[in-house]
Structure formats: structure tokens, C-alpha cells
Amino acid sequence: MGKSFTICPYCGCGCGMYLELVAGHMGVAMPSQVQSMGAGRLCLRGWQAGSLIGSAARLMRPQIAREEASWEEAIQTASGGIKSVLDRGRHALGVLCGGHLTNEEAFACRLYAHDILRTPHLDSCARAVDAGSIWGLEHSLCTPYRSPPLAQITRSDVIVCLNSNIRWDAPQAAGYVVEAAGAGSKLVVIDEVVDEGLGDLAALYILHKPGFRGVLLHLLVEAVAGGRRLDAEEQSALQQAGVETEAFHQLSSLVQDAKRLAVVFSTTALQIPQEAAYLAELTILRQASGAEVAQVFAVRSDCNSIGVVDMGVAPVRNGEARGLGAFEMLSGNGGLQGLIVVAEAVEQFVGQQQLRRLREQLQFLLYIGSFDSATAELADVVLPMAGWGECEGSFTCHDGSIWPVCRVISPAGQRRPLAQILNDLSNAHNGSVLPTDTSTLRAQISRQVPSYRSVDWAGLSCTQPSATVPSRDNDIDVVNTVAPIREWPDIGVNGQRPYVLVVRRHEGSWAFDPRVRAAHILAREHTDQRSPFVIINPRTCQQLGTREGHSVMVSTAFGSQLLPVKCQAAVPQDVVVLPWQFRDVAHSLAGRPRVDDRTGSAYHQPVAAALELPG
């Protein structure tokens, strides 16, 4: 049969699917019903994953300064560039990897970064995005965190879902939430906007003011822990959070009465560790007071977010060697002179302007990847690597199960498998040899990654994951020390700036993912998600005297920008939503993102804004 079992290369839900080659060059993806993640559903990205194969937007040949070159020249030039950076010390070079690398590829990157280049600066944007909530969860649960299988969401009687944009960032998790709500589970949605989709199913929709989620969760933990009503100070905090007392009491009763509680969110939505810590506390409280089960389902941002970190792609933090996190590397403040980017279009995370600024600071930029991107455009050397469907490997999914990733076609053009490219670079660097074949890499993973020691790689088949890998060793040094939120946020809303601008994940969040741009239908679906706009309430639009598609001047303490509006009733009248993918606009209107020291995650706080008609 021409159908090979594999895992979707996009989000952290890790849906099982089949990939089949048609007409020699075109892939078709179909959902699997039997794999634990999926239940026969896929989101649009999953359904269209097959068109990554055959897409003309792939990188096919090595490039030097955007000119096509031979592999030999490109490797020599890359190696020369790397050496000249390393002459300034090993701290001058960083390696940044995509969260959709397979375990084998990620491990090869770690070998290359640590053993050959000896740099402590190794990370993935996926880890940094996940880090805020995962850190919070782990410090509350006092144990390394793995999500239970998403299918278990359907067993809950009460589901608390944070941020309705889980529908776009972790669609399969949302699918399970919808399935459960349809079958009678009580759904509570907590968000700063009112999503029609989940709203239609929710038993309770808690709409809070942007920036006040932490306050709300703090109050909820207090209420559930003490089984009590709020005191006067807490009441006033609740009021500031914009939540009605009655709704809050309904919320705390639902949580208190839950027999099987599920808390569901996507890590992309919760970047503040404290908020995730509160959610974990809720489950601990319920578990300790009579619930049969209370679980957190935190879906990570990338398909192999977990495996990539398990393989050691994370900044080295021991003693004097303090590796930079992904966003520190990209901020340009870490003193890097050279950067190697593997399979990640970093403009998605920092925007084009920051990328160009960073490029000016770097002496050398090497891009190894499968698709063209702004990062590739700015690189000194581009090395085309085999992509999803062209290489076999494995992903470690959200619940720690390892699944095979199939190869249905040989690498197109002159693309080479990543391990081979890294070996060529090592060879050119100092004559070292790195493993290039999957079985050697796997044997080495088993030896060097303790939690993967017992993985039966040979038995890794699409029928069964060969192992559910325990999470990494418990390296959590601080227990339960996440500081509670004591101060209520002051967004600074006033008569002059009466609106709150929130930078938020949205259905077009991955519009700048080069894989999305390369896949025909996906590219088509996102054409209107690539030029900046803001979303406001239709009433606000009317009050301003403007119309959908027309522009308004959005001003904050950081700057002003003229932006077209889209109208959605889901957005409260005093809120302005800036879709997450417009990073440059986010920086100009909401300032530089706040980088969390402990985790390296970066996020924008809501800011007060004014809306005016132009001129």
C-alpha cells in the first residue's frame, strides 16, 4: 500500500496521518483514526501537509550570497565563516533549531553544537515559546511535565479552556474539547475575547480584561483552596479584571464540583509562568479534595517541541557556561557574532525589522533549511536540507510517545539530510566525523539521553509507539516558589488612550511559516493574513465612523501606526486585537517583548491605545 503512517509536521497536537505520493511528486495527507492523537480529524494544515512535497518554494540548491553554488563551495564557505566567528571565542556563535526537527536531526544538531563547535548557545524558538507555561506547570507540580494523551479530554466532566485561540494553535485539542462538550462535559472558557465557536458550546464563558488572566486565576485558586467567598480586596480585584461576581462564583463552583477536571490550553497563549502555575495548582487542589482526576493538557507549539528539548537542544546552563536562549540570541543583545539557523524562519518570531538589525550585527549567518524564507534571504550561505517526507525519523509527541516520521520520496534537487550536512560541516571544520545514518544516531541517543535508554528503536513502527518516554530527569531546583501575583496590573488606560491593545494568537498566526507559504491551499488561505490589520468590535468601528477595510490610526505610548480594521463581534468594544504574526507592528505599538529571565520566553503585555481616523 502506498500510504505511509507519519505524524503531522506542524503543531504540538501530533496528529497521526498517512502520507501518500501521487503523480510522482505530490503528497497527499489523510487522517488516522486509530492513533491515540487524532481520532480521524486534522486541521487544515494537517490536511494540506502533503503539498509540502513537490512545492516549488523549497530550497533546492546551496547558495552563497544568494547565488547558487556547488555543495563543496558552500560547505567550504560556511566552514570558513564559522571558523572566523569562533576565532572570537566559542561564545560568539549560536545555533538555533526548528521545533519540527526529528529527534534524530535534533540530536545531530546537539552533537554538532556541543562536540564540534563547543558553543553553549543552542536552543529552539519552540522551546522558548513553550517555556513560560511549562516552567510554571513544573514548578507547581514539582515534577517534569508531560501532557496526558489529548483523547483523555473527552473523559472529563468539567473542562476549563484557556483562550479560545486554542482553536487555531492546537486545533486537535480543541476538537477533543468540542467532542467532549457535545457529549455533555461542562465547558468553561476563560478569555479576553468571546469566541463564537467555543462560546456556542460553553456552559460558562468568563470574559476578562486583557492582562488580568493571572489575577483571575489567582482568585480562582484562592476560592477553590479555601472553599470561600472573596474578601473585599479580592472583590475589587475581580472588578478590575472585569469579571462579574456571579460568573466568578459559578466558575469556582464548577471547578470545585468537578469530578474529572481537564484544564486545556496551548503554550502559545500562556507565556507567563505564574498563570500556568495557578492552573496546575487548581488540578492539585481538586485532586486532593475528592476529584477522581484533575489534569492539565498543555499543548506545545511545535510538532517535536518535546523531542527537540529531550535531545539536548536547549541552552547550556551550568556554572559559568550560560547559554543564550533563542530570543536572547535573536534580540542581538547576547554579543553573538555568528548564528547558524536550522530549519526555522526566525522572522516569524522577531519580525523582519529585528531580523535585519540582527543581521547587521552578525559577521556570519548560515541558514540550513528546506524552504526559502527571509532568514534564508539574509544568510551568507544557504544549505538546502531534506524536509518532512524526505527523511525517516521520529517525533516525541505531547504525551511522551515516540512515533515514526516516514520517508515517501528521496530528497528533491540537491537537498541533503541534515545529519549529512552537519557531518560535512564538521569534516570541513576539523576533520571530525558525525553519525549520518538514522540507526547510528538512534543508538547514540539511547546511550546519551537517559530517558531514551530503553527505547526499542527497531520496534518503532506505525502500529505502536515503541515507547512512552518518561520525561527528562527531575532537574527542577526550586519547588513551589513561583511568586503569587500581588499587584494588579495597570495597563494605563485613560481618557486619552481608552482602548487596550492586545497582541494575540489568531487564525493567521502561522501565515509567515514558509511551509504554510509553500503549500498551495494553505498559502491561498493566508494571503489576507500577511499584511497587518487590527480587529475591533463592529460597534467601535461605527463609533469611530469608519468601515471594515478602512484604516485607523492606532497609537500607544510606544508609537503610532495606520492600520486597516477588520470587525469581529468577538472582540469587546474597548479592546483592539493585533494578530500575533505582525511582529514588526507589535514591536512598534507594544514595545519590545518582555523576556522572562528564568525561561527565556518572550511576550507582549497589553497596552493602552487610542484609535483615531487618519488625517
Partner 1 sequence: MPPLATYSLPADKLEEVADRLLTCADRVIGPVRTPPGDLFFDVVRSVNEIELQYGNSLLPPTTALFPMAEEIFSVVGGTPPVIRAPRSDASCLLFGIRPCDVAAIQRLDHFFLDGEFKDDLYAARRSRTAIVAVACSQKADARCFCSCCDTGPFAKTGYDLQLSLVDDTYLVEVGTEQGRRLAQRLSDLLGVADDDLILERERRAQELFTELEQKGNMPSAIRRITGEAVSQAVWERIGGRCMGCGGCSFVCPVCSCFYVIDQTLPDGTVQRIRAQDSCRLAGYTREASGHNPRALPSQRAARYSYHKLSYRYIEREGTQGCVGCGRCVTVCLGGVHMPAVTEMIRREA
Interface residue list for ligand SF4 (CB under 6 A): 8, 10-11, 13-15, 42-43, 45-46, 171-172
Per-residue x/- marks for partner 1, 113-152, CB under 8 A? ----------------------------------------
Q: How far is CA 147 from CA 246, 490, 547, 575, in A?
A: 32, 33, 44, 32
Q: Which does 318 bind (CB under 5 to 8 A by kind): partner 1, ligand SF4, none?
A: none
Q: Rounded to the nearest whole angstrom, what is the least distance from the CB of residue 423 to ligand SF4 in the complex?
A: 30
Q: Which does 288 bind (CB under 5 to 8 A by kind): partner 1, ligand SF4, none?
A: none
Sequence-ordered list of residues with C-beta below 8 angstroms from that of 38, at least 6 positions apart, any chain = 15, 16, 17, 31, 32, 172
**Secondary structure (DSSP) of 352-409:** HHHHHHHHHH-SEEEEEESB--HHHHH-SEEEEB--BBTB-EEEE-TTSBEEEE-B-S
Which cell numbers hold the place of 519? 503549500
Q: Is there binding between residue 178 and partner 1 (CB under 8 A)? A: yes
Q: Which does 182 bind (CB under 5 to 8 A by kind): partner 1, ligand SF4, none?
A: partner 1
Among 8, 19, 55, 327, binds partner 1 (CB under 8 A): 55
First to last CA, the chain: 64
Q: Which of 317, 314, 311 is nearest to 449 (CA)?
A: 311
- Give me the residue whose beta carbon is nearest to ligand SF4: 46
- Considering the complex, state which of residue 48 and residue 556 has its C-beta at the smaller distance from ligand SF4: 48
What is the rounded distance in angstroms from the CA atom of residue 117 to the CA atom of residue 111? 9
Q: Which of 244, 301, 239 is nearest to 268 (CA)?
A: 301
Per-residue x/- marks for partner 1, 434-463, CB under 8 A? ---------------------------xxx
Q: Which of 546, 554, 566 is nearest to 610 (CA)?
A: 554
Among 9, 46, 81, 606, binds partner 1 (CB under 8 A): 46
How do strand 3-7 and strand 16-22 relate by DSSP bridges? antiparallel
- Considering the complex, state which of residue 45 and residue 127 has its C-beta at the smaller distance from ligand SF4: 45
Per-residue x/- marks for partner 1, 388-427, CB under 8 A? ------------------------xx--------------
Interaction residues for partner 1, span 501-540 (CB under 8 A)? 507, 520-521, 524-525, 527-528
Q: Rounded to the nearest whole angstrom, what is the least distance from the CB of residue 406 to ligand SF4 in the complex?
A: 15
Q: Is there binding between residue 47 and partner 1 (CB under 8 A)? A: yes
Q: Which of 190, 184, 224 is nearest to 204 (CA)?
A: 190
Question: How much of the chain is helix, strand and coil, in % rounded to 5?
Answer: 35, 20, 40
Q: Which does 11 bind (CB under 5 to 8 A by kind): ligand SF4, partner 1, none?
A: ligand SF4
- Considering the complex, state which of residue 145 and residue 580 has its C-beta at the smaller distance from partner 1: 580
The Cβ of residue 430 has, within 10 Å, a number of other Cβ atoms equal to: 10
Judge whether 221 and 281 are in contact, CB under 8 Å: yes
- Considering the complex, state which of residue 187 and residue 190 has its C-beta at the smaller distance from partner 1: 187
- Considering the complex, state which of residue 171 and residue 435 has its C-beta at the smaller distance from ligand SF4: 171
Judge whether 133 and 340 are in contact, CB under 8 Å: no
What is the rounded distance in angstroms from the CA atom of residue 129 to the CA atom of residue 262? 22
Q: Rounded to the nearest whole angstrom, what is the least distance from the CB of residue 43 to ligand SF4 in the complex?
A: 3
Q: Rounded to the nearest whole angstrom, what is the least distance from the CB of residue 170 to ligand SF4 in the complex?
A: 6
Q: Given the rule CB under 8 A, which residues bind partner 1?
A: 1-3, 5, 16, 18, 20, 22-26, 28, 30-35, 39-44, 46-47, 50-51, 54-56, 60, 167-168, 171-172, 174-175, 178-179, 181-182, 195-197, 199-201, 412-413, 461-463, 507, 520-521, 524-525, 527-528
